[in-house]
Structure 1
């Protein structure tokens, strides 16, 4: 029985559907980064201010300000960085389009060479390159020469919105925790619950991205613990009791 993949018919007429995680790379990276930063930065800020023995109102004000500033910073940073990537992709595609117009034969030979390098014999590589070029020359070069695909293409607005939204959600977790605790319990309470939130985030990202669960959880909780410990130490050293 010969199976044809990617949703084509096989066997007794059933369709074989494959689910790949690469299509999630862009939004998943931005979402995990945003939520992780939201939890770590806001929890660290709250812990640092609380360790300085500030009153509850000052602690909450600092946390709320950190949430707003952080969300805007994440959105701006993601938009600028991903826009730069998109600009580079557009420039590369424009250059490739011009090269195809100027010397199609050389571009065909280049594509053939790529397939030979990947393991096809020269005759088959030439035939594959010829057929793909006749179907969509720019698409073939974008994918196989430049490494630009629809799934991995830069999407600045999507990345910015995902980062800002997830930062706000992440930051809201320790902020809500701090709001229901007395000031003298915030350092311990926010630290413990934030580590729990980070562990859950690591587990969710591992599940969505197909990574190892233990590794994903450890890397977010360890760095979060270090960040909160550092700000708690600074708050304790520099704080002044009211």
Structure 2
């Protein structure tokens, strides 16, 4: 199992797309947190004690999509270049392959989201300092921010991994990955109205958006999103064991 996991980690760090996505991620954080929200900060934002904690949440909500895309492409490239059979024959079971990919993506996403959580407030503070602006004393609920940010990014990556494991086509999985959270759930929200908060990505978004009107608590939202992931991964595991890899 360890050999399979190390192989998956090597795939992540040797994919060119990984570094392109990480570069875009850092650039977005520096642009929005450092320049727009820091260097060009308004008086109202500078007077808010939650400015920097808000920067963390905003950065994680955007960069989690990019981190999830790295995990999706880890699996997708194997189908695109017909390498999946090599991966499956190099291990004892398909279950090990699936578990190794889950663990590899987890070990990649968690440090990256912690990095973003540190970079975004530092960039905002540095941007404001360069312009000679001063913000009020900032408050951080560290543990609350930590679990919500890590869970949101990890769960988003797990949903992306489910899509590619089920669809097994790079273009198809990417399309589904981008249209389900916005377009599909947006349409379903019109039909479900008050119950839309129980949709998978809507509930996941509530983990970050504390106090949003009509939303559940972060803990309740995390449980709902986790329930979806458990069911989806059980179904994905069964299909991965029984269906042909290609």
Q: Which bracket does the TM-score occupy, shorter chain normalised?
A: 0.3 to 0.5
Considering only CA atoms, is the larger Rg found in Structure 1 or Structure 2?
1
- Higher relative contact order (Cα pairs below 8 Å, separated by 6+ residues): 1
TM-score, with normalisation over the residues of structure 2? 0.37
